[in-house]
Amino acid sequence: MKSEVELKQIVQEKYAKIAEQGKVENAASCCGATTPSNKVYNIMMDDYSEVDGYAPEADLGLGCGLPTQFAQISKGDTVIDLGSGAGNDCFVARHETGPEGKVIGIDFTPAMIKKARANAEKLGFNNVEFREGDIDDMPVSDAVADVVVSNCVLNLVPNKPKVIAEIFRVLKPGGHFSISDIVLVGNLPDALREDAEMYAGCVAGAIQKADYLQQIEDAGFVDITVQKEKPIVIPDDILSKYLPAEEVKTFNQQDTGIFSVSVYAAKPGAKSKKISLPLAEVTSRDCAPGSGCC
C-alpha cells in the first residue's frame, strides 16, 4: 500500500496534466477510455450549462455533482471550495454570494491554481481568490467560512477524517457544507475494487457510503442529509476491461456499485440553516435524462 505522500503525488501529477487538457479529453481519460465518446463523456459529471454563474472556460469536466445547487449560499457569504481546479464551482458560488461576499478556492496543484487565477482575472472577479495548499491542512484561519463546497475531491484524499475535521475547523458556528463525492455501496468485484483504490482514477479512494456519513457525524456535524444520489453507470466497454462478459452482466443487475452523492451537514451553532427542500428532491437514485448518470 502506498503512503499518503505517494498517493498525493500521484493525484498532483495527474491533475497537473489535466490542467493542460480540454474538457472532452478529461472526461474521456478520467475513467480509462482511450477516445472520447458519448458513453464515456458524462459518466460522472452533471451539466452546468444552465447554472447561473457558470464559466465554460473554467469547467474541465471533473465533477460528479452540482454542490452549489444545494449549498444555500446567501449574499455576502464567505465560501470555500475544496479542490477548486480551474475555478468552476468558485465562479458559480460567487454568483450566489455576490460582489459583497468572498470565495476562496483551495487546490494543491500549482497548474490548477495558475489556470484558476487567469480565469478569475478574465472575468474581473476581485472577490474570488485561489490559495495553493492541501485541503487536509487548509491555508485558512479558524471559523472564517459560512459555507464549504467541494465537487468530487474528497475521494482523492487518503485521510478523509482529517479533511472533514478541517472543514469543521474553518466553518463558522452555524455554518454548513454541501459536498458532491463518490462513494461505494456493497462489495465491488476485486478487479473494480482494486482499480477504485488507484488514486489516478475516477473512483480513486472512494469508501463505503455508510462509512463516509459516519465520519461526518464523528467530526461533530449535525443535520446530515444526502441531498442527491445517483448511480455511476459505467459503460460495458469500460467494464469489459476489468471483468469477463458474464460478470459485466451480473454487475449491471445488482444494487451494489459506485454512486455520486451530494451531502449536506452543519456545524452546530445558532445560525445553522435546516435544509428545506422536499424529500423527493433531496434524495434520488433515479437516472433522469440530463442528470449525467446515463
pLDDT for 264 equals: 97
Q: How far apart are CA 163 and CA 269, in angstroms?
A: 20
**132 pairs with which residues across the strands?**
107
Rounded CA separation 90/105 (Å): 6
pLDDT tens sequence across 269-293: 976 554 544 333 333 333 332 333 3
What is the pLDDT confidence band of residue 139, given thresholds at 50, 70 and 90?
Answer: very high
pLDDT score for 101: 97
Residue with cell 458513453: 39
Say how far apart CA 291 and CA 189 lie, in whole Å. Answer: 26
* Sign of the torsion angle spanned by Cα atoms 106, 107, 108, 111: negative
Is residue 187 pLDDT above 80, yes or no? no
Question: Higher pLDDT residue, 164 or 42?
Answer: 164
Q: Give the pLDDT band of residue 237 (cuts 50, 70, 90).
A: confident
Looking at residue 10, its pLDDT comes to 62
Choose the CATH number for 4-282 among 3.40.190.10, 3.40.50.150, 3.40.50.1820, 3.30.360.10.
3.40.50.150
DSSP 8-state class, residue 189: P
Contacts of 58 (CB under 8 A, 6+ apart): 85, 86, 87, 88, 90, 91, 116, 119
Task: Say which amino acid occupies 258.
Answer: I
Distance, CA of 37 to CA of 15 (rounded, Å): 21
Domain extents in the chain: 4-282
Torsion angle of alpha carbons 9, 14, 18, 21, nearest 10°?
130
Burial of 3 per CB tally in 10 Å (0-12, 13-18, 19+):
exposed
- 226 closest CA partner among 173, 286, 180, 291: 180
**How many CB atoms neighbour CB 274 within 10 A?**
11
Q: Other C-beta atoms within 10 Å of 111: how many?
A: 16
pLDDT at 13 over 70: no
pLDDT digits (tens, 9 = 90+) for 35-91: 443 333 345 667 787 788 888 888 877 778 889 989 999 999 999 999 998 899 999
Crossing angle for the helix pair 110-123 and 4-18, to the nearest 10 degrees: 40
- Does residue 227 contact residue 264 with C-beta atoms inside 8 Å? yes
pLDDT value at position 276?
A: 45
Residue 87: CB atoms within 10 Å: 31
Residue 213 has pLDDT above 90, yes or no: yes
